[in-house]
Structure formats: C-alpha cells, structure tokens
A and B are shown apart, each in its own frame.
Chain A
Amino acid sequence: MGIIETRKLAYEYIRRDDEGNVSGITRAVDDVNIDVRPGEFIAILGHNGSGKSTLAKQINAILTPSEGEIYVDGMNVADPSKLWDIRQRAGMVFQNPDNQIIGQLVEEDVGFGPENLGVPTNEIWERVNESLKMMQMLEYSKHSPNKLSGGQKQRVSIAGVLAMHPKCIIFDEPTAMLDPHGRKEVIRSARALNDVEKITIILITHYMEETIYADRIFVMDKGRIAMEGTPKEVFSQVEKLQELRLGVPQATLVAYRLKQAGLPIPDGILTRQELREALKACL
C-alpha cells in the first residue's frame, strides 16, 4: 500500500449568502486518484487556483474530503481519532516562514511539535538537536528565529516537522518568498531528506526548475490531474504545459525553440549540462 492514496477524491468550497443559503459551489479538487509510494519524490505543478493547495491540505487533514477517500500510511483522514497520527506521519511546510514560526528561540520552535505529541522531555531535546543538525541549523539553536534569513527560517520550519519523525513531508510552495540562495538551500534540504532519510516528499511549486529531480510530476488543472509522468515525459510537452498556464525549465525551452528552428535536438532536455551535450553532438 502507498504512503498516500486517494480514491475519487473531491473537495468543494461552498459559499453562503447572509442568510446561510448556498450561493455557489467551487469544486477545487475533482476525481483525483493518486498513489504515492514510500520514499518517492513527487512534484505537483499547476496554475493559481488549480487545486494544488486544497489537495495538500487534505493529505494533512486540515480539510476533509467532500467526496471520495484519502489514506495516509493506511489511515483514513476522515477518521477524527487518527487526526494526530496523520499529522505526525505527514508533516507540512508552508509558503511563508513567518506564519509558522512561534518559538522565541530556534530550539523552542523545533521542540513545539514533539512536545505536542507528548514525547518525554529528554527525547524532545534529542530530536531537536538531531533535526537542527540535519538542516545544518544547529549552531543557531539559541538564536531568535526572527533574525534569520528567509531560507534559514524555512529550514527551521522543516526541522520542526522533522522533529515529529514524519514519513512524509508536504511542501506547499516553500520557496515562493525566498531569494535565489534561499531557494537553493530549501530545495537541497528537501532532496537530501529524500535521498538520505528516505522521507517521502511532495513538493508543490511554481518554479519548474525545482522539479527536474522529482521521480514523478503531477500537473493539476481545474482540480483534476491533467498530466502525470517523469520530468522528462512531462516537460517534453511544452505546448500542453503552456496551455495550462505553466512553463518549462529554461534549458528545456531553449532546446525546444532550437528544435523548432531546425536543429537536431532530442526531446526531454532538462538541465544546461544536457543542453550542452546535445549541442556538442550537432554543432
């Protein structure tokens, strides 16, 4: 069984007027069937309003499905008695680090999660140190979080999730507010957790470049999964992605345009190194 499984999953936002009568329904997630295997690195792409975040919030039981089912590590998220187990198993990192950091000191912030889980004090400190070490933030454990850079704050947020010993981490646009250096730090951390700790990663992003190392990419549109495949498969379909208001990595776009201009360039180029090799072969 997968770590995350959805069956005919749907979520509806219901708008009501002043009297409480239903005035409109938006189906944000519609008939989504996905199966994520333990240890996979999944990227989810989609334009603003395509349903990515609504899907993510259901995995973490912040929202419960309107229709269909979703299982996290075999537990049904609609079962209230499993709520805390689900949130421990599948942690979430949000877009704005300032909205998720609450501690006065970095180490207090990271300890907040395990403390809520009822972990004994000694073990809390062990977990805090271990998580900060993994995120290379141990030297900042006595610092105030609000003096850190954006990338460092996000790494503290990730450490806070790690301290709960999750099997899966969902990143909801973790780099949208960061500068290029901060973006690199966060993506590198996510990849390392996947490679070394075998934690399942679900990365939601608007930056195509961040998804090229994923095992699989899901592209969402109008609440449904519109495309699915490896980065090579997905990014070979430049026109379809543009129709879905998305793009492709810059190296892929250059390769695509060169091919249109008549150069013998293969499909599926994702990095500048691959582009260089393809050009070497034909120049």
Chain B
Amino acid sequence: MTLEHVNCIYSADTNHSVHALKDICLNIDDGEFIGLIGHTGCGKSTLVQHLNGLIRPTDGLITYDGQDIYGKGFNRKELRGKVGLVFQYPEHQLFENDVFADVCFGPTNLGLDRKEVELRAYEALHAVGFPDEDFYSSPFELSGGQKRRVAIAGVLAMKPRILILDEPTAGLDPKGREDILELISRLHSENNMTIILVSHSMDDVAGYAKRLIVMDHGSIAYDDVPQEVFRNVRELEAMGLALPEVTYIMRTLKRNGYDVDDTLTTIDEAVDAIVDLYKSRHS
C-alpha cells in the first residue's frame, strides 16, 4: 500500500477548516508490523481511515497493490475486506444476539455463501482464542477482554491482508492488554499478516513493532526502527509522548555513569544488561 502526498482538510472552504493530514507519503510492505504513535488529535485515526477508503483524501494518491483506490473500476468494498480496521472500543459495535452471528456479519456482507461464512467465523474465533462453549452466548454478557476478542474476530473473518487496530488495549486490565498484544503478534508471525498498531503508549508498541511512525499535527515526524525513534527524547516529550518506562530507567543509569545501552526498550533486555553489568563488576 502506498500514499503519495495525501492531504486531508476537514470542513474545507469554511472558517472552521482543519488540516488533519499534511502531505503524507508512506509505503507499507507486505508482512510489516508498524506502530503508529501520536498524541490525541495528531491525525492517527484520520490516517488509518484513509487506508481502507472510509475517508477520501482532499488530494493525493492512495494505491493498493499498485492500483489507485479511487480509480475507475476499483472495488472499494473488496478493499475494506482486505484492509481490516478494528476501531477504538470495538465492542461498542457488537449488536447480534450471539457471538457467532456477530462474527458472521462481516463475511456475509462480502457476499460469500453460508458455508464459507460459517467456516471463516469458526476459524476467526479460534484464532483469537475464544472458547467454543461460549459461541452462542450473548456478546453483552462477556467480559471486556472477551468482547474485544469477538470484535477482532469479526474483522479477521473477512481475511484481511492488512489489519489495523486503533488503540486495541484501551480500558483493559494489564493481563488483558498483554493477551491482546500477544494475539496480534501471533497473527503477524503465523499468518504473515501486515499489522498497523495505533497507540499512544510506547510501552505497548515497543516490544512488538519493527517500524514506528510518529505523527504530530497531521505530519509524519519520524518513520524508523523503534531504537532510532527513541533517540529523539526531547522532541517526543514535546509532542506529549513518552519513551517506554524501561528506556527511562536505562537512561537514568547511564547518566549516573554506568556503561549500559540506553536505547533498550523491553524489560528482558534491561534485566539482561543490568545483570551483565553486575557480573562484570563482581567477578
């Protein structure tokens, strides 16, 4: 998927116009795991809604598999199956009487036959680790984390190549957050699905994403591997963002004269580094 010089202006030609996306150029390859970060109102959600054709850019070109998604004869309905978007608090969109029927809704709309729809719904519920015995429960009787799994399964059942998740861990308890992130990571590694994880928590994305795109005021501020992006501490903080807590810990140690790598982002890396340091000083 590519975006070339994409601009989006809300309420153009009025005095309330908002320039939500400014000259965005982006290339997304098959099988990437991207973290899309930015403070509230930076344009993240507007950007992802452009990717599956929900919002039409004011100007610029968006292509999927080399084809202009607003070109003549391009099937945007099919695109929405290929580029699956899981909105914020997706459980608010559950509406059917039972879980299974809810997950069937997406593939049914793609015009598939009954057998294929049910097969996909079954596969998708399995993929998110949803227990068989609850397939016919009302989605409204489930816990927050389970509801969110059902909502994600509803998108997976359309067999997307690109899965975009907007703040998928918001409002979940720590274990629930970890479970959802593990699920996303598994979809990526086992099915080679392209993942775009939208978040304002660096702690959430740091352990998983291999590429970070940071947005600020509608523009792309950084687009690089996480370790490189995290070098820009002051700039990120000025944008209302924070580094992963672990990185702050390592920076504190380095400032106090310890010879450690201050760009580490995960607990495992940090613990290993400090243990190595301890052993080298006590051997």
Contact = CB atoms under 8 A, between A and B. Distances in A.
Nearest to A245: B175
Given A48-B145, A177-B170, A245 B176 contact: yes
Interface string B233-272: 0000000111011101100110010100000000100110
Size category of the A interface is: 35 or more
Q: Is the interface of B mostly helix, strand, loop or mixed?
A: helix
B148 to A, nearest CB: 10
Contacts of A261: 271, 275
B31 interface: no
A209 interface: yes
Contacts of B246: 250, 254
A100 interface: no
A206 B173 contact: yes
Contact of A48 (B172, B270, B278): B172
Contacts of A253: 267
A46 B277 CA distance: 36
B200 A176 contact: no
A51 to B, nearest CB: 12
Given A48-B145, A182-B40, A283-B281, A245 B173 contact: yes
A206 B172 contact: yes
B274 interface: yes
A46 B278 CA distance: 35
Interface stretch (A127-135, A156-164, A270-278): A270-278
Contact of A272 (B39, B41, B145, B245): B245
A257 B267 contact: yes
A149 B258 CA distance: 39
Nearest to A264: B278
A206 to B, nearest CB: 5
A173 interface: yes
Contacts of A49: 143-144
Contacts of B241: 179-181
Interface string A29-46: 000000000000000001
Given A149-B41, A258-B275, A282-B278, A47 B249 contact: no
A283 B277 contact: yes
Given A48-B172, A209-B245, A276 B267 contact: no
Contacts of A83: none
B171 interface: yes
B58 to A, nearest CB: 21
B174 interface: yes
B203 interface: yes
A112 to B, nearest CB: 24
A279 B241 CA distance: 27
Listed residue (B173, B177, B281) with the most chain A CB atoms within 10 angstroms of its CB: B173
A272 B274 CA distance: 14
Contact of B271 (A180, A257, A272): A257
B52 interface: no
A261 B276 CA distance: 10
A272 B248 CA distance: 8
A167 B41 CA distance: 34
A240 B253 CA distance: 29
Contacts of B245: 209, 249-251, 272
A97 B90 CA distance: 18
A47 B270 contact: no
A242 to B, nearest CB: 8
A273 to B, nearest CB: 7
A65 interface: no
A254 B171 contact: no
A272 B249 contact: yes
B201 interface: yes
Given A179-B39, A180-B241, A182-B39, 18 more contacts: A15-B141, A48-B145, A48-B173, A176-B170, A177-B171, A242-B175, A246-B173, A246-B174, A246-B175, A247-B174, A250-B203, A250-B246, A250-B249, A251-B245, A254-B271, A257-B267, A257-B271, A258-B275
Interface of A: 15, 46-49, 95, 149-151, 173, 176-182, 206, 208-209, 242, 245-247, 249-251, 253-254, 257-258, 261-263, 272-273, 275-276, 279-280, 282-283
26 contacts: A46-B173, A47-B173, A48-B143, A149-B39, A176-B171, A178-B40, A179-B200, A180-B39, A181-B39, A181-B240, A182-B39, A182-B240, A206-B173, A206-B174, A208-B174, A249-B245, A250-B249, A253-B267, A254-B271, A254-B274, A258-B275, A261-B275, A272-B249, A276-B253, A276-B256, A279-B258
